[in-house]
Each structure stands twice: as structure tokens, then as C-alpha cells.
Structure 1
């Protein structure tokens, strides 16, 4: 996702720290608020703009997951990605990102444009829920993740997933003319 700074500072819902506002930050903040207030996720288990660094043939790449949810023990549970377009067209890219997370993949991915939402199982890329009611409650999330395990792919598969992610990321063109702040 390519964002442009709006040249103003806001208070981050999750951390209480001041952050730069961007074209999509209001959506990220609303999704974090939904997870915490409606679905009862502990703030400390959610990371905003979670960096996902990887390399292809030694060349560094990086993307950011809008929200990443971890168990109290630090295990990845859910990656949440905002997409500025048709949700279904962003599922493959989001699944690739979830699969390459190390040391282990995110077993579940949510892809949303703020009006539509798909809950996806990472291993098979199968949509297992649609609409905002598909967002699991915190108490149900660990069991749901266990129902849909995603083992770490082999090195050959990881390389392919990294290349898929880089290809999709590259389709967006140059990032905001160099102004991207994520």
C-alpha cells in the first residue's frame, strides 16, 4: 500500500504515541479500534505498520502489514491488510506476505477495503469468512489459528512467495513519488 503524509500529527490508538497522519492512517486506526473495542484484542498483541523485510537474490525488499496480531507468547496469529481497491485482487499478495513471515507464517489473513472484508486461511488461500462479522473475537482467534495451521514453507517455496510479493508490490509503481512514510 502506498501512502502519502498529510503533514499533520495524530495520536496512535494502539500506543498513545504521536505519529504522522497519512492517506490511509484513519482506516488503520479504525481497524485497530475495531479489534480492541469490539473484538476485545489486547492492544499489546497488535503491531501497527508491522515491517516485513525479506530478500530476493540478496536484494533487500520491505513491505508493511497494516496490523499484525500475535499471541501472548509472540506467535503470529493474524495479518490484517488494508487494500485500496477490490478486496479479491489483493488476497494473493497478502497471502504471500503472511507465508514469508519468519520464523513462522501468519495462519490467518484479513484483507479489507473498509467496506468489504475477507478472512483467508494462509496455507490454502481459501476464503473462510466474509464481511466484518468474520473478524474473529480475541477469545476465538487462537483456536481458529490452530484449525488452520500454516507450516513454514521450504526454501524454494519461500523464494517463490517472496517473488510473488515483490511482483505485486512493484505493480503499484514508484511509491508516492518518494513521499511514502511507512
Structure 2
């Protein structure tokens, strides 16, 4: 185990299932990798259709925040689904996941969002915020997403809605650990 102060248990390193990149091996990262494997091995997506570790940076009220979008799924040249992991309650993860899907791309809304704690999940309609399904089984297969594509709404949020959504991300994703400071390890590819 690394000798770096952190509240994350560090087991060493692991290779990212999608990119092959070496990452810090934590319980959280193991769940992210589990979700990536689920998308490829059980839901039928190609590794090339799965993007890992996207970020949105915000600065409001002197608070700089990096919001992490763990996984983005792309089909037919469009981003169709974001997946955000976080331990604990899913309900508290819904609103920032929706905000991220609304603003990650200026040119389009990402119509579906998944929140998961690695053991459970919810599929959300990004436009309405409605829960479309619960459990990891609610994560659509590639085949079902291809079928849904014509009915999905990719219309970007109006320009006047971008800042409020970014503010929501900033407020929900500010990360302060038990020691009173940011939790990320210096220089580590830990999310």
C-alpha cells in the first residue's frame, strides 16, 4: 500500500479496462472498472464506444471544482449516455449527473444518465430528470440504445440554462474530505 495520506484505501495500481492506462487501485476505482466491464461484456458496447474520465471544470463563488464524468457512451457519432459512480445513496447523485449530461457537450444534450454506487443503479432521462429504471439491469444494452436513438432528444440546453447547470455541478461536486481539504492524491489518476 502506498504511503500517501488519504482516506482512500490504496491497493497499488490497476490497468483501466477500456484504455489500458495505469490507475491508482482503490475501492472506488474497482467499482468504476466493474461498470466499464458491465457495459462491454454484458451490455454489448465496444471499448471504442466507451470514454473514460471526462471532466467539467467550474469556478463559482471562489470554489474551483472538477466534476468527474466516469464514463460516456458514444453511438453513431453521438454521446448518448453518461455514467457517474459514487458510493452511497443514488438519489443524491441524480441531480449532478443530469447537470453533467446537460452541459458536457455544448452542441448536444446527452439524453441518458446513469448513477451507480457499483451495486445498484438508476437510469435517468436527462431532459426531464425522470427515473426510467432502477438496478444495474436498467442500464440499456447497445442493441436497445440503437433502437432508442431515433426517439432520443439531443437538443442542447438553451444557453441561459448552461450556467445554472454548471453551478449545480459546482455545488454538488465540491469535494472536502474528513481532513478538511481536497481528497485527490497529488498527481494520481484517481477519481
TM superposition score category, shorter chain reference:
0.7 to 0.9
CA RMSD of aligned residues (A): 2.6
- Quick check: 1:122–1:150 contact (8 Å CA) kept in 2? no
Equivalents in 2 of 1:77, 1:148: separation in Å?
A: 8
Deviation at 1:140? 1.5
Instruction: State the secondary structure of the residue aligned to 2:143.
Output: coil
1:50 and 2:54 are equivalent in the alignment: yes
Equivalents in 1 of 2:59, 2:143: separation in Å?
A: 35
Pairing of 1:51-130 with structure 2 (within 5 A)? 51-54=55-58, 56=60, 61-73=65-77, 75-103=78-106, 104-130=108-134
Equivalents in 2 of 1:129, 1:169: separation in Å?
A: 24
Equivalents in 1 of 2:151, 2:176: separation in Å?
A: 34
Instruction: State the secondary structure of the residue aligned to 1:51.
Output: strand
Per the alignment, residue 175 of structure 1 pairs with 182
Equivalents in 1 of 2:7, 2:45: separation in Å?
A: 26
For structure 2, list consecutive stretches of 5 or more residues without a partner in the other structure: 1-5
How many correspondences in the alignment? 180
Deviation at 1:142? 3.2
Equivalents in 1 of 2:68, 2:141: separation in Å?
A: 23
- Quick check: 2:97–2:115 contact (8 Å CA) kept in 1? yes
Q: Quick one: structure 1 residues 108 and 146, their matched pair in 2 at CA, closer, same or farther if it must change by over 3 Å?
A: farther
For structure 1, list consecutive stretches of 5 or more residues without a partner in the other structure: none
- Give the structure-1-normalised TM-score: 0.86
- Give the structure-2-normalised TM-score: 0.82
Equivalents in 2 of 1:138, 1:82: separation in Å?
A: 20
Equivalents in 2 of 1:20, 1:171: separation in Å?
A: 18
1:141 and 2:133 are equivalent in the alignment: no
Deviation at 1:145? 4.4
CA displacement 1:2-37 (0-9 Å, x = unmatched): 984726221211122322223311001111111101
Equivalents in 2 of 1:178, 1:11: separation in Å?
A: 18
Instruction: State the secondary structure of the residue aligned to 1:102.
Output: coil
Equivalents in 1 of 2:133, 2:69: separation in Å?
A: 20
Equivalents in 1 of 2:25, 2:84: separation in Å?
A: 18
